[in-house]
A and B are shown apart, each in its own frame.
Chain A
Amino acid sequence: MIKAILIFNNHGKPRLSKFYEHYNEDTEQQIIRETFHLVSKRDENVCNFLEGGLLIGGSDYKLIYRHYATLYFVFCVDSSESELGILDLIQVFVETLDKCFENVCELDLIFHVDKVHHILAEMVMGGMVLETNMNEIIMQVDAQNKMEKSEAGIAGAPARAVSAVKNMNLPEMPKNINIGDISIKVPNLPSFK
């Protein structure tokens, strides 16, 4: 079982938090802070598994994380999950985000956290892995987006126009924090198919 999925940036700012067990808001923030503290002090070339962390820990649980550009993707899982499997799942998740957002960067996650949730919901449900096939995930996400668009119909058009105008005023969205090495697979981790 997956207990929680967290995404935060290099400064510990949460970009997505999904807890499959209930905590109150304060505890959640504390967990995020603590996890960030644990993960951020690790070097780049150490292993991606971490024990401990008082809140989310417990002997059966492990933190499994990956660091992409400015973002940390952290999964807290128990012993029923395969460690390498989860690492691969994170990779699938990020690649899916990359496909869905077209060259995903931190800003995409910042402004479209709801979409990230929807994508995640197609992969992990209630703490259990639902789907690991990227094409299947993308297909389902696209189908739902299409539905959303068709529902908006005419009524959605003006709103879209306005939001386009709003975005134009943005102090140019820096796309430079691109997750450049996203397609590079970690050696020795043949992908799951």
Chain B
Amino acid sequence: MALKIVKGSIDRMFDKNLQDLVRGIRNHKEDEAKYISTCIDEIKQELKQDNIAVKANAVCKLTYLQMLGYDVSWAAFNIVEVMSSSKFTYKRIGYLAASQCFHESTDVIMLTTNQIRKDLSSPNQYDTGVALTGLSCFVTPDLARDLANDIMTLMSHTKPYIRKKAVLIMYKVFLKYPESLRPAFPRLKEKLEDPDPGVQSAAVNVICELARRNPKNYLSLAPLFFKLMTSSTNNWVLIKIIKLFGALTPLEPRLGKKLIEPLTNLIHSTSAMSLLYECVNTVIAVLISLSSGMPNHSASIQLCVQKLRILIEDSDQNLKYLGLLAMSKILKTHPKSVQSHKDLILQCLDDKDESIRLRALDLLYGMVSKKNLMEIVKKLMLHVDKAEGTTYRDELLTKIIDICSQSNYQYITNFEWYISILVELTRLEGTRHGHLIASQMLDVAIRVKAIRAFAVAQMATLLDNAHLLTGNTQRNGICEVLYAAAWICGEFSEHLENPMQTLEAMLRPKVATLPGHIQAVYVQNAAKLFATVLKGQEGDADGTAAQEASQLMIDRLPLFVQSANLEVQERASCILQLVKYIQKLQQKDVEVAEEVSALFAGELNPVAPKAQKKVPVPEGLDLDAWINEPPSESESEDEQPKAIFAKEETKHSRPRHTEVDEKELARRREARKQEQANNPFYIKASPSSQKVYQDAPGVEHIPVVQIDLNVPLKVPGLPMSDQYVKLEEERRQKARADKKKKEKKKRKEKRSGRGKKHDSGPESEEDIAPAHMVDIVTEEMPENALPSDDDERDPSDPHKALDIDLDKPLADSEKLPVRSHRAAEAQKSPTDGETENATLQEPKKKSSKEKREKKKDKDRDRKKSKEEKKKKKHKDEDKEEDLLGGQADEAVLQSEETSQVAAPPTSASTPAEVSDLDFWLSNAPVPSNTQEAAAAAEAAPEPSVTAPDSEPDEPKDTEIEETKSSKHKKKKQKKEKEDKKKKKKHHHHHHHSDGGGEESVQNGTVEEEEPLPPMSNYCLLAENSYIKMMKEDAEEVYDIQGNLQDGSQVVVSVIFENKCSSFLKSMEFNVLDSLNSKLQRPEGSGPHDGLVVPFQLPPGVSNEARFVFTVQSIVMPQKLKGTLTFIVKNEDGSTHEKLDFKLHFTCTSYLITTPCYSDAFAKLLESGDLKSSSIRLEGVNMPFHHLLARICFHHHFSVVERIDSCASMYSRSIQGHHVCLLVKTSGETVSIDAKCDEPTLLGNVLDEIKQTFSQC
């Protein structure tokens, strides 16, 4: 055998392995592709062999080739084969390959579900680890749904290595299968306090990712995170938490107040720059959320700015970058604080590092004022010149425009200057932002009336020099500017000095090379200019000039009539005909100017881009209502297309209407189109992709342009905007001087003509008067427009699905699917009637809430309290008649029960949680250091620590009362229950449930529609005057692969509740091991050592701990004796106390709910390996489905089939014994026939079933 293996490996050791492949590729540099294709052929051969080692080797090579860009999806099936190898070496190769090349649409993924499940439950932690790692990369919604429960089980694995991976992967599962979030969340939350720092960090990581997208759902965790923040020393965790707080504070300003102090302390104390930086960031977020009302507000902001300045001044470019980044956040709310560091930021503009320059640019945006705008822009313009042909230059350009146009041109004092800046920007080569400049030009020209004359002059020059902009195809982006120029010249042509010249410029043949939408504007505005020319020539005796203009139009327009662009063609031919007609009239000496200009009369007002959207719908108008009734319903789908051809038929009903409508619509559409064409604000609608790509025009097309030296654009050497800077300075100086004179100031300041000095001058914003009275026309909005600036989130965002309220109780349908056959999924919703109660009994449907209620049921069973009985009846009635019936009293009871079971603050019910948070937040800030010392380890101000005894002080009365009263209620209820419990103390019964999701029990509150009587698994273990222990055993039961000699593990969750008013600590849980059952203790501890309970209990608080037991034989029920020792600490001192208890493992606790197909069930029965036994129950008066539900719930069976009053059920023990039941009922007698391959086990299970029913 061994020889054979050796031989096999000798055979394949001459196969190419990964190293050989890499070497080969390196040796075939010239014909790499060819070499690789031969390698792929070899790999295909290797994959055909049966030897898994050969296959794994091939897959390993494929993974490498995938990195080089080769598609290897064809080998997906082989990858799955390698994944399922039993050897870790190959499994790892398989999972790596899968993680590199599987994705959602890889179809073989669905074959992997069972393999992954097997690996997840492998005894080898690295098998599990490698499966989790792989799964994290290729999890699909199906895998997430099928495996969610398995992964959740792993979250409580004994090995921290597995726990941390399982916790982390849950995030991916949530993304793919959002339904799993609510059931899994309680456990995730629990992991925040895991003893292992890695697991803790993973849990923080996941919750931070979740909370970042939907912060409001996680506000209730703030106290917990706060505790972690003050106690953790792991910088990774701290950073994540601090970042999370940054996301939470905008939602809850009170949280911010609480945070400031600890964060400030951290800022002062930490040496880690990363932590410092994140603290500063979050403090900034806090300060933003607190608009005012912080006493030492300015101190904090000062601290931040000062720390950031240190970062920015640092020689490390990374810190400089981050400092600037954070600075820009402060800028939004506290521009003053940042402005004092202007020097530093301007300095960063000169940095050689582009990332830093970009960040500095962002900052500049907020630093401008009327005073320094011109100076800053001048500086930026210098940078624009330097930054030739880079994206950085484009960024500069947009920033300049942003800075100038911000808040409705607030900072611009001289629009002539701004127009000239825009004109200068048009000289940039190859920018993408031509349309941005164009829209600015339009906006300014339309809205600032005073500037129109100047703007028109500038635009005319631009048009004249259009060749400069369009000469190079590279500059295509910038030619958008001509669109604006043409429109401005046309629309405001009355300001033109020489309209004829401009008209000529607009009709040059070269215009035909421009993009279509620009040509269209040219043609239209040429007509406007023409009208102006005519009007101008009106008075002249001889109409030669006018006739020249007409002739020019008639000569040039045919070029546009031939345009390939429909819009251009249409406009050109209309206008051409019009001009021809006008020419005729001119020849008859008819005065036409008036009529022609009437074509373009009226002024266009700017309309806000969102105006249409904001028009409120008039009352009584229903936009969704039919204007004409739709065709009658009787018309079937396939007749529909016919109707299109046989129009008469449909029109038949209302021919008049449709016709009128169509005409009217067409007319309106036309009118609208025309309006749109003329409206400059439709510039955005015409995409620049319309550009006509044509060859660069030949030299002969370029007209020789006379350069008019009077036009400022061409002032040689000096860029013209500088003139304005100078002019402006002079103007301001003069104004200031005038003012000074007026005010008769004693000391007259002498000023040089240099800008810098002025800036440092004491001049305040208000002093600067605009150069000329500027009327900035606001954009028109409809009357009573509605504010509607809500930006909607991207609907495709996967995180949207995770916006789930986590405080709401779990509903039936939310249970995580457990391992089951797909066929079993045909369930109905739990609320739609009587019949589904049977389906509810299936494990899938069994929600944790039910369990909670079942507990009540159980109580009732045992106690037979009249009151409860009454309620049961009431409930049953309700169920049968109206599920929505008012059950207020029950609701109260239920929620109280919940809070009894629950352990605040980790798992309080919704209202309690909310008020807890309120309390926590309204509580005085952080306790001072002395207090902290006194409160020892539990320093974090949890409500439970401070709540009960503190005197209700001033404004918080109500809140405290609220918490108090709820506590009070809780206590009362508790007492009531204890009384009941004492009586039946020794009767308690332990029940199992299928794995996962249980602890969400505690998270639930009231659920009104409940078809099944409530059941619960928690039962009293022991109690004394100090503490009460409640137990739910078998949190999850899982087998550790059959071949391992030590049978199985059972997890027991115990709730510890502090009943006294003292502090309980140092709890140790110990059990006397029997031969069969042992408590699992950490490595290195002796067999009699106790396990330390990983928490302490303040008064009135309860918490849950889990203990793992190893069980050898499962055929008999077992009892274990145990002791809990703890220290009671109060003002007088501390005392040691102990509490004895007995743990009872029933046989049913070893059963796992396992679904079974009816055919498999039949085969099992036929096989004849099973021993049979039967019992008879008398006097059972409950509906059959309740009976089944009870067996399912308490004894972990699943229903295989149900026919009338007869049902077959199945379950499997953790060691693989099959248990089959046939349950029949007639009247009050229930007979159960059972079969199992282990008679002792069966006998015990049946006894237990009997016991369950004898109690009711």
Contact = CB atoms under 8 A, between A and B. Distances in A.
Given A25-B69, A88-B274, A114 B60 contact: yes
Interface string B311-322: 000101111111
Interface string A13-42: 010111010101110110000000000001
Interface in B82-114: 87-89, 92-93, 96, 100, 103-104
Interface string A41-72: 01101111111100000000000000000000
A7 B476 CA distance: 38
Interface residues of A, number: 71
Interface in A109-147: 110-114, 117-118, 121, 125-133, 136, 140, 143-144, 147
Contact of A49 (B201, B212, B239, B318): B318
A142 to B, nearest CB: 11
B168 A126 contact: yes
A161 B133 CA distance: 31
Nearest to A45: B317
Q: Which residue of B6, B19, B274, B391 has the most chain A CB atoms within 10 A of its CB atom?
A: B274
Given A46-B355, A47-B321, A126 B136 contact: yes
Interface in B795-840: none
B103 A22 contact: yes
B505 to A, nearest CB: 38
B274 A118 contact: no
Interface in B67-82: 67-71
Interface of A: 1, 14, 16-18, 20, 22, 24-26, 28-29, 42-43, 45-52, 80, 82-85, 87-88, 110-114, 117-118, 121, 125-133, 136, 140, 143-144, 147-148, 151-152, 154-156, 158-159, 162-163, 166-167, 170, 186-190, 192-193
Nearest to B68: A14
Contact of B355 (A49, A121, A136, A156): A49
B212 A143 contact: no
B598 interface: no
Interface stretch (B8-16, B562-570, B736-744): B8-16
Contacts of A133: 198
A50 B236 CA distance: 22
Given A140-B161, A148-B89, A85 B236 contact: yes
A141 B833 CA distance: 56
Nearest to A167: B19
Contacts of B137: 20, 126
Contacts of A188: 273, 314, 316, 319
Contact of A166 (B19, B129, B356): B19
28 contacts: A14-B67, A43-B352, A47-B353, A80-B212, A84-B274, A84-B322, A85-B235, A85-B274, A110-B26, A111-B23, A113-B64, A114-B96, A121-B96, A128-B205, A129-B201, A129-B236, A132-B201, A140-B129, A144-B92, A154-B2, A158-B13, A159-B13, A162-B14, A163-B17, A163-B19, A166-B19, A188-B316, A192-B274
Given A43-B352, A49-B355, A190-B271, A130 B165 contact: yes
- Where chain B touches its partner, the secondary structure class is helix
B354 to A, nearest CB: 8
B184 interface: no
Nearest to B53: A155
Nearest to A47: B317
3 closest cross-chain pairs (CB), A and B: A126-B136, A84-B274, A47-B317
A35 B68 CA distance: 15
B1130 interface: no
Nearest to B164: A130
Contacts of B116: none
B20 A49 contact: no
Contacts of B100: 18
Contact of A144 (B8, B126, B271): B126
A80 B209 contact: yes
B88 A87 contact: no
B1020 interface: no
Given A125-B133, A192-B274, 9 more contacts: A18-B100, A52-B391, A85-B236, A111-B22, A129-B201, A147-B89, A155-B8, A170-B23, A188-B319
A34 to B, nearest CB: 13
B356 A47 contact: yes
Contacts of B318: 47-49, 83-84, 87
A128 B239 contact: no
A187 B64 contact: no
Interface string B1217-1249: 000000000000000000000000000000000
A167 B208 CA distance: 47
A81 B470 CA distance: 46
B277 A82 contact: yes
A125 B126 contact: no
B235 A192 contact: yes
Given A51-B355, A85-B239, A187-B316, A114 B6 contact: no
Interface in B1-54: 2, 5-6, 8-10, 12-14, 17-20, 22-23, 26
Contacts of A112: 19
B88 A144 contact: yes
B1093 to A, nearest CB: 26
Contact of B133 (A52, A82, A113, A121): A121
Contacts of B355: 46-47, 49-51
Interface in B167-203: 168-169, 171-172, 198, 201-202
Contacts of A110: 22, 26
Contacts of B391: 52
B5 A154 contact: yes
A16 B67 CA distance: 7
B506 interface: no
A107 to B, nearest CB: 10
Interface string B260-303: 00000000000111100110000000000000000000000000
Contacts of B201: 129, 132
Contacts of B314: 188
A131 B198 contact: yes
B551 to A, nearest CB: 51
A14 B64 CA distance: 10
Contact of A151 (B70, B87, B236, B319): B87
Nearest to A43: B352
B209 A128 contact: yes
Contacts of B68: 14
B872 interface: no
B132 interface: yes
A117 B96 contact: yes
A18 to B, nearest CB: 8
Contacts of A192: 235-236, 272, 274
B206 interface: yes
B212 A84 contact: no
Contacts of A129: 201, 205, 236
A84 B60 contact: no
Nearest to B139: A126
Nearest to B10: A158
Contacts of B89: 147-148, 151-152
Contacts of A132: 201, 236
B358 interface: yes
Contacts of A152: 89
B88 A147 contact: yes
B243 interface: yes
Given A50-B355, A130-B164, A166-B20, A143 B104 contact: no
Contact of B198 (A136, A170, A190): A136
Contact of B272 (A121, A125, A128, A190): A190
Contacts of A126: 133, 136-137, 139, 168-169, 171-172
Q: Which residue of A24, A155, A193 has the most chain B CB atoms within 10 A of its CB atom?
A: A155
A77 B314 CA distance: 24
A51 B124 CA distance: 43
B66 interface: yes
B169 A125 contact: yes
B63 interface: yes
